[in-house]
Amino acid sequence: MAKIVDHEQRRKEIVEVTAQIIASEGLEAVTTRRIAKASNCSLGILSHYFENKDQIVLGALNWCDERFEARLSEMYGEEFLGLTDFQPLFLTLLPLDELSDTEWRVRCNLVTYSLTHPQLKLLRKEKLDYSYDMAAKFVEKLQSEKEIRLDVDAVSLATLAVDTAFGLCINMLSFPMEERAAQVDRLLSLLSAALSDHIDQ
């Protein structure tokens, strides 16, 4: 009578715990013992679920993005609708609560990690390209609906937006949580002004 264990569930738990450790103590603090202890499981069991430590860490990266994507699809379903959707999307991405703060801390670790780990480098590039594409489609849609000015190159603007969002999120991590909302407010008014410029006329 084998104990029934939901492997996928177990894996997810381990990955989440690992992400928390990365977020709070950094990638260098992640040891197999640490993971096992925090996951309430034995050291050896880890190798039943993951080939090695790197795979757990990789899982932690995906966990972040899955969380973000889950929030998105919960908010919008399949398709983005218009400019009014931008702000909530933006707000759920930004590290404005403990949840996404953790996500961004993990992402920051893994972006750095990806600089020197070929496998992760590839993955990171794919994710980045995907973000650029999504953003470009969104911009194009907005332009086609004349919600934002048309005299800018959609791909360039989308790229810029993604880069800005990334830089903003990472830099925000250097600020206390309570100051971040105000930052975002100012930024949003600036952006909405700039984006709608030629529309308003």
Give residues in contact with a second copy (CB under 8 A). Answer: 24-29, 105, 108-109, 111-117, 121, 124-125, 128, 151-153, 155-157, 159-160, 162-168, 170-171, 173-175, 183, 186-187, 189-191, 193-194, 197
115 binds, among a second copy, DNA, none (CB under 5 to 8 A by kind): a second copy
Q: Which residues contact 194 (CB under 8 A, 6 or more apart)?
A: none
Rg of the chain over Cα atoms, rounded to whole angstroms, equals 19
* Distance from C-alpha of 6 to C-alpha of 180, rounded to nearest angstrom: 39
The contact pattern for DNA, residues 52-71, with x = CB under 7 A and - = no contact, is xxx-----------------
Q: Between 12 and 196, name the residue whose CB sits nearer to a second copy.
A: 196
31 binding DNA? (CB under 7 A): yes
Residue 31 contact, options a second copy, DNA, none, Cβ 5-8 Å cut-off depending on partner type: DNA
d(CA 39, CA 49): 13
Cα 136 off chain centre by: 18
> 156-166: buried (b, 16+ CB within 10 Å) or exposed (e) per residue?
ebbbebbeebb
Residues that bind DNA (CB under 7 A): 1-5, 7, 10, 30-34, 41-48, 52-54
